[in-house]
Structure 1
Amino acid sequence: MNDSYLKFVNSPFGARLARSLGLPKPEVLRRYRGDRPEFDGLIAIGAGHEPRLFDALAKLVASIGMTSVAHESAGLWVPLANRHGLMTGRFEAAEAGSSGKLAALLFDASGIEDSSHLEPLYGFFHDTLRSLGQCGRIVVLGRPPEACASSRQWTAQRALEGLTRSLGKEARRGITANLVYVEEGAESTESGIDATLRFFLSPRSAYVSGQVVRIVQSSAQSGTQGGAGGAHVGGGTSALAVDWAQPLAGRRALVTGAARGIGAAIASVLAAEGAHVIGLDMPSARDALAATLRPLNGTALAFDIAAPEAPAQIAAALDEQGVDIVVHNAGITKDKTIAKMSEAAWQSVLDINLGAQERIDDALLAGGILRDRGRIVAVSSISGIAGNLGQTNYATSKAGVIGRVQSMAPRLRARGITINAVAPGFIETQMTAKIPLTIREAGRRMNSMSQGGQPVDVAQTIAWLAQPGSAGISGQVVRVCGQSLIGA
C-alpha cells in the first residue's frame, strides 16, 4: 500500500508546497538493499566516565568499514581513542567529509556510575546532533540498571532511557535512536554486541527507534550446533566465523502465516540471510504459499494452526531434520467493541493469535524438534502494549504473547534457546489498507517518522533476533513502530 502524502511531499513540487505551507515532510527512509553498501560514512564516538565498551565499539566500527572520529567529551578516555588511531577533539561539521554530515553517533555510557557523570552526554550530542545526516543512526550503550552495584549507578543508567527516546523525537529526518544495555562481560562473549550494533547502525533498522535492548551473557556454552552452520568456538563473538551476508546459513526456519504480507516478507528476508524456510499457512492459502516459497527454494506446509491436531502434524513434518528458528507470525483480527463482540470472535482471535503459539511450541520443545540454541520470535503488536479501541480480543492476545516471551525466557535459558517478540505499529499491509482513511492517516503520522512501516521492517528485526550473535537477547519485546507516540 502506498502512502500518497509521503510520495507527494517528497516530489519537487510537493516539497516546495510543504515548505511554503509549513506542512510536515516525512523522510523517505533508507532501507537495506543488496545492491548498495550497508555501511558507509563517518561515525562520531563519544564516551562518559571510564568507558568500558570503547575497545569493542572501535573494533566493530573498523570491521564494518566505517570511519570514526572520537569526540573529546571526557579527557580520561582519550588514550583509548589514541590506541585505536582515532583523532579526538571537539567535533566540527567539516570533519564529516564533503557532505558535512555524519552517518552515526555512538556513545559509550557504560562507565557512568553517578548522575554527576551525565554531563558528557550533553557535550557530545550538543556538538554532533545537528551534523547527523538524513536517516542517520544514534546508539547509546550502557549497563543494565537492575545489575548495577549501587542505587546511584542504577539511577544514572536508567536516565539514559529518557535521553535516548528524546533524541529520537528531536532528531527527525528519518534518524533513529536506540539504547543497548550490555551486561558486564557480555561484550566479550558469544552473546556480544556485534550483531546488535550492526542491526542498529544498518538501514535494516529503518523503522526501529526509541527501543531499549538488553544483552546478557548467554548460559549455553560454545560447541558444535548440529546442522546449523558449523562449529562455534569459545571466546566470544569475534571468534565465530560469521558470514555477515548470510548469518543464518545452514539453519532451518519455520514461519507461520507465510503466504502473504508480513509473513511473506519474513520468509524472504530469512532466506536471503541463508536459512531454509519452511512456510506454514492455511490450506485455503496453499497456492499463495507456494508462490511465496517457490522462488526462495523453501518448503510449504498447509495446516490450520487452530485445529487440535495441528501441533502434532507440524512436529511430524519437521521431525526428521528439526528446526532452528520458529517465527510465530500467523494472526487474525475480528474488531468490535467488547459490548458488540460475539463470543466466537473473542475466542477465535485468542485461540489463533495466542493459544496456537503455546500448543505449537509445546510440541516442538517436548520432542526436541526445536534444537538447543534455537530461536523463537513471536509477532505481538503495539495494541498488546497500549490497547486499542475495538480490539479487546486482539490486544488481549498480543499482550499474552508478551507474557509468553517474558515467562518462557528463563525456562529456555539452560538450552540456549532465546524467545523474543516484535511489536509492530502501523505497517502498510492489506489489513491496514482496509482501515478508514482518517484513522489510517492518524496511524501513519503518530510516530517520530511520521509514516507507516513496511513489512520488510518487521522481517529485518526478526532476522536480527534469529541470528546466532543475538544469543544474549531473550525475554524482550522490540517495537517496530517508528517510535510510536502510542504506548511509547
Structure 2
Amino acid sequence: MNDAYLNFVNSPFGARLARSLGLPKPEVLRRYRADRPEFEGLVAIGAGREPRLLDALANLVASIGVTSVAHASAGLWMPLAHRHGLMTGRFEPADSGSAARLAALIFDASGIEDSSQLEPLHAFFHDTLRSLGKCGRIVVLGRPPQDCASPRQWTAQRALEGLVRSLGKEARRGVTANLVYVGAGAEHGMESTLRFFLSPRSAYVSGQVVQVSADGADAVESTPFDWHAPLANRRAVVTGAARGIGAAIAGVLAAQGAHVIGVDIPSARDALDATLRQLNGTPLAFDIAAPEAPAQIAAALDDDGVDIVVHNAGITKDKTIAKMTAAAWQSVLDINLSAQERIDDALLAAGILRDGGRIIGVSSISGIAGNAGQTNYATSKAGVIGRVQSMAPLLRARGITINAVAPGFIETEMTAKMPLTLREAGRRLNSLSQGGQPVDVAQTIAWLAHPGSGGISGQVVRVCGQSLIGA
C-alpha cells in the first residue's frame, strides 16, 4: 500500500512545505537490502558503574566490523577495545566541530545497582543524541529486574524501561530505541539480538524490552551456523503463506537459508504454489481449521521433521459483540488460536518439531490493547500471548523456544480497505509516524527463529513503530 503523505513530505517540494507549515515529516526508513552493508558507521559506547557486558560487546563490535567511539562514561572501553584489536576513538559532540554522525548508541547499564547511579545515562544521551544520524539505533543493556539481588537494584534496572521508551519517542528521524536485559551467564547468547536491533532489519521495532536468559543460551555456542545464512539446513513451516505477511515471512526465512513449507487453504492453492515455487519451497494446501489438519500436516512432515513453526494464519470478522454471531466468534477463535494449539500438540507429541526448535506465533496490538469491534480477534490474539507465556517453561527441557510478534498497523491489502481516517490514524499514531511493511514482521520472526536466539523464550515483541496505543 502506498503512503502518499510519507512520499510527499520526503520530496523536495513536500519537505519545504512541511517545514514551513510545521507538518510532521516521517522519515523513509532504512530497511535491510542484500546489496548494502548491514552494519556501517560509528557506534558510541557508554556505560554506568562497573559494567558487566563490555567484553561481550567488544566481541560483537569486532564481529560486525564497525568503528566505535567511547563516551567519557565508558572509561573501560578504550583499553578493552585495544585488547580486542578494535578501531576506536573518543566521542566528540556534534557541536564541537566534528562532522561524523553516529549510526548507533549503546549503553551498558548492567552494573547499576541503585537509583542514585542512573546519572551516567543522562550524561551519555545528553551528549550523544544530537549526533545520532537518521534511522540510527539506540540499545541499552541491563540485567533482568526479577534476577536482581536487592529491591534497589531491581528498581534501578526497571527504570531503564521508561528511559528507553521515552528516547524512542524523542529521537524521531527514523531512530529506534530498545532495551535488552541480559541474564547472568547469557552474555554469549546476546549477539543475535544485538545484531537485530542494530541492523536495518529492525526498522519498525522500537520501544521494546527483550530478555536474553542463560536458559537456552548454552546451545548457541554448540550450534554451528553462518551469520549470512543462519537458517541453512533448517526446515520451517509457515501457515497462511500464500500472500501478504505470510508470503513475506516465507521469503525472509528462505533468504536466510531455510527450506520453507507453506500451508494455506485449498482455495488459495494457486497463490500458495506461486509463492513457494519462487522460494524452492513446499506447498501444503490444508485448511488448518479442519479437524484432520494437524494429522495431515504431521504426516506431510514426518520423514524429515521440522525446526521452525510460524503460526501466521488468521482471519478477522469484525462486529461489535452485540451484533456478532456465534459463528463469527467461533471461527476467528478457532483459526487464530485453537488451530495453533492442535497443530503444536500433534507436532510435539510425534517429535516432528525437533529439540532446539522454534515456535513463533503472530499476535497483534489488538491482543494487548483491545479494539472496538474486534472482541473475537482481540481475544484470539491475547490467547496467542497466553500460549507463549504458559508453554515456554514446559518446552525448555527440549530446548524449544516459543515467542510471538504483535504487529501494529502494517501496510497490507486488508489495511488498504480501511476508511481513510482510520488508516491515517493507524499510520501516524506511533513514534515513527508511518505504517510498517510485511517484511518488518518477517524480519522480526527470522530473528526469533535464529539459532543464536535460544536464550529468548516466552516473550512478545511488538512490531508497531512504538505504537502510542498499547505500547
CA distance in 2 between counterparts of 1:304 and 1:92 reads 58
Report the counterpart of residue 303 of structure 1 in structure 2: 286
CA distance in 2 between counterparts of 1:252 and 1:309 reads 22
Alpha carbons 1:220, 1:416 under 8 Å: kept? no
Alpha carbons 2:205, 2:462 under 8 Å: kept? yes
Report the counterpart of residue 454 of structure 2 in structure 1: 471
Report the counterpart of residue 201 of structure 1 in structure 2: 198
CA distance in 2 between counterparts of 1:95 and 1:268 reads 45
CA distance in 2 between counterparts of 1:32 and 1:285 reads 29
The runs of 5 or more residues in structure 1 that have no matched partner are 223-235
After TM superposition, list the pairs within 5 Å mapping 1:112-261 onto structure 2. 112-188=112-188, 192-219=189-216, 222=219, 237=221, 241-261=224-244
1:336 aligns with 2:319: yes
Report the counterpart of residue 326 of structure 1 in structure 2: 309
Deviation per residue, 1:119-172 (Å, 9 max, x gap) = 100010000000000000000000000000001100000000000000000000
SS at match of 2:331: helix
Report the counterpart of residue 103 of structure 1 in structure 2: 103
Alpha carbons 1:137, 1:177 under 8 Å: kept? yes
CA distance in 2 between counterparts of 1:94 and 1:40 reads 22
Q: Which amino acid aligns with 1:166?
A: S
Structure 1's 104 and 333: CA in aligned 2 closer, same or farther, altered over 3 A?
same
Q: Which amino acid aligns with 1:159?
A: A
- Shift of residue 217, structure 1, vs aligned partner: 1.2
1:396 to 379, 397, 409: 379
Q: TM-score, normalised on structure 2?
A: 0.97
CA distance in 2 between counterparts of 1:374 and 1:77 reads 36
- Shift of residue 221, structure 1, vs aligned partner: 5.8
Report the counterpart of residue 15 of structure 2 in structure 1: 15
> 330-339 vs 79-88, which deviates more?
79-88
SS at match of 2:462: strand
Report the counterpart of residue 231 of structure 1 in structure 2: none
Deviation per residue, 1:48-77 (Å, 9 max, x gap) = 000000011111012111100111115466
1:285 aligns with 2:268: yes
Alpha carbons 2:217, 2:453 under 8 Å: kept? no
- Shift of residue 93, structure 1, vs aligned partner: 2.5
Deviation per residue, 1:276-307 (Å, 9 max, x gap) = 00000000000000110101000000000000
Structure 1's 351 and 95: CA in aligned 2 closer, same or farther, altered over 3 A?
farther
Question: Which ranges of 4 or more aligned residues in structure 1 deviate by more than 4 Å?
Answer: 74-79, 84-90, 94-98, 219-222
CA distance in 2 between counterparts of 1:76 and 1:31 reads 33
CA distance in 2 between counterparts of 1:347 and 1:135 reads 42
CA distance in 2 between counterparts of 1:218 and 1:95 reads 45
After TM superposition, list the pairs within 5 Å mapping 1:423-442 onto structure 2. 423-442=406-425
CA distance in 1 between counterparts of 2:77 and 2:116 reads 17
Structure 1's 75 and 434: CA in aligned 2 closer, same or farther, altered over 3 A?
same
CA distance in 1 between counterparts of 2:229 and 2:430 reads 32
Report the counterpart of residue 93 of structure 1 in structure 2: 94
Alpha carbons 1:42, 1:96 under 8 Å: kept? no
- Shift of residue 82, structure 1, vs aligned partner: 5.1
- Shift of residue 79, structure 1, vs aligned partner: 4.5
CA distance in 2 between counterparts of 1:8 and 1:178 reads 29
Structure 1's 284 and 96: CA in aligned 2 closer, same or farther, altered over 3 A?
farther
2:433 to 450, 453, 469: 450
Q: Which amino acid aligns with 1:340?
A: K
Report the counterpart of residue 406 of structure 1 in structure 2: 389
Deviation per residue, 1:232-277 (Å, 9 max, x gap) = xxxx64x754311110000000000000000000000000000000
Deviation per residue, 1:412-463 (Å, 9 max, x gap) = 0000000000000000001111111100100000000000000000000000
CA distance in 1 between counterparts of 2:255 and 2:91 reads 41
Deviation per residue, 1:22-60 (Å, 9 max, x gap) = 110000000000011111000000000000000111110
Report the counterpart of residue 271 of structure 1 in structure 2: 254
1:27 aligns with 2:27: yes
Q: Which amino acid aligns with 1:14?
A: G
CA distance in 1 between counterparts of 2:373 and 2:41 reads 46
Alpha carbons 1:220, 1:413 under 8 Å: kept? no
Alpha carbons 1:92, 1:127 under 8 Å: kept? yes
Structure 1's 340 and 96: CA in aligned 2 closer, same or farther, altered over 3 A?
farther
- Shift of residue 83, structure 1, vs aligned partner: 3.8
Q: Which amino acid aligns with 1:248?
A: L
Q: TM-score, normalised on structure 1?
A: 0.94
CA distance in 1 between counterparts of 2:438 and 2:216 reads 32
Alpha carbons 1:220, 1:414 under 8 Å: kept? no
Structure 1's 244 and 59: CA in aligned 2 closer, same or farther, altered over 3 A?
same
Alpha carbons 2:240, 2:314 under 8 Å: kept? yes
Structure 1's 277 and 207: CA in aligned 2 closer, same or farther, altered over 3 A?
same
CA distance in 2 between counterparts of 1:61 and 1:94 reads 26
Structure 1's 32 and 466: CA in aligned 2 closer, same or farther, altered over 3 A?
same
Aligned residue pairs total 470
SS at match of 1:139: strand
- Shift of residue 380, structure 1, vs aligned partner: 0.1
1:370 aligns with 2:353: yes
Report the counterpart of residue 58 of structure 1 in structure 2: 58
Q: Which amino acid aligns with 2:170?
A: E
The runs of 5 or more residues in structure 2 that have no matched partner are none
Q: Which amino acid aligns with 1:440?
A: R
SS at match of 1:38: coil
Alpha carbons 2:289, 2:335 under 8 Å: kept? yes
Report the counterpart of residue 358 of structure 1 in structure 2: 341
- Shift of residue 87, structure 1, vs aligned partner: 4.8
